[in-house]
Structure 1
Amino acid sequence: MAKLSQVNHIMSGNVTFVEPFFTIAKIRKIMLLNSFSYLPYEKDGKYYLISDIDVAKFWNSIFDNEKEKSESLYVSHFEDLVKEKRFDISDELQLIDGNSEISKALSKNDGRPMLVKSGSQIIGIVTAFDWL
């Protein structure tokens, strides 16, 4: 356990991002197939958090509202949904340096996942499960 002293020792690498051209159906599929609770989304140099509950609420609203049953919403690009303010991305993610000590990084954590960086590159993500 002593060798696990830095954030980059406990993070999950190979982060899957929501791409602007993804549909809600694609995002939902990625989350379901990989058991992801969160996916990051980058827009204008800032990173946002898309949660499984955000996707579930949106997904179900498509089917709950008669007007929203159109196929166009189902296949809309995520970027368009954000522009139209149909999907809120106000939940900006914290970034943490991969060389940070685990105890210091954990004390800065607000309960949400954090993206791990090395220089200007994103190298991983740390979720509640990783801190355990």
Structure 2
Amino acid sequence: MCTYITDQWLRHWFLGGAADVDYKNDRQVLHSNPQDYINDIRRVWNNVADGCKPNAKMVIRFGGISSRPDDPLDLIKKSFHGTRWRLSTIKNAGTALEGKRQADAFLRSRSKSVAEYDLWVSLA
């Protein structure tokens, strides 16, 4: 991901940015559909692997958003297919409700958060 400007456009606007959201940044991770997202995350893992020493280890916290019906655990597992990373451990990390969800500060009723997972992977 290059920047968070598309997700944080209002804050960016307050700082002098454009009033319209520019979704055309080709350097962003695509999330228009599950397969595009998986493919782009896979490219991220491959880029990270290129900068790592042999046998590197990485721990990732990954979750989803309630407005997308896709299973976040399925998406992240598929993103490692075709990479040099090997998944060794998955632990349920609870939900974002256990933290302070920024989005809920602006809603009349709390949104439903999706489970998050911690994943341990090793470079093969």
* TM-score under structure 2 length normalisation: 0.26
* TM-score under structure 1 length normalisation: 0.25
Between Structure 1 and Structure 2, the one with more helix by share is: 1
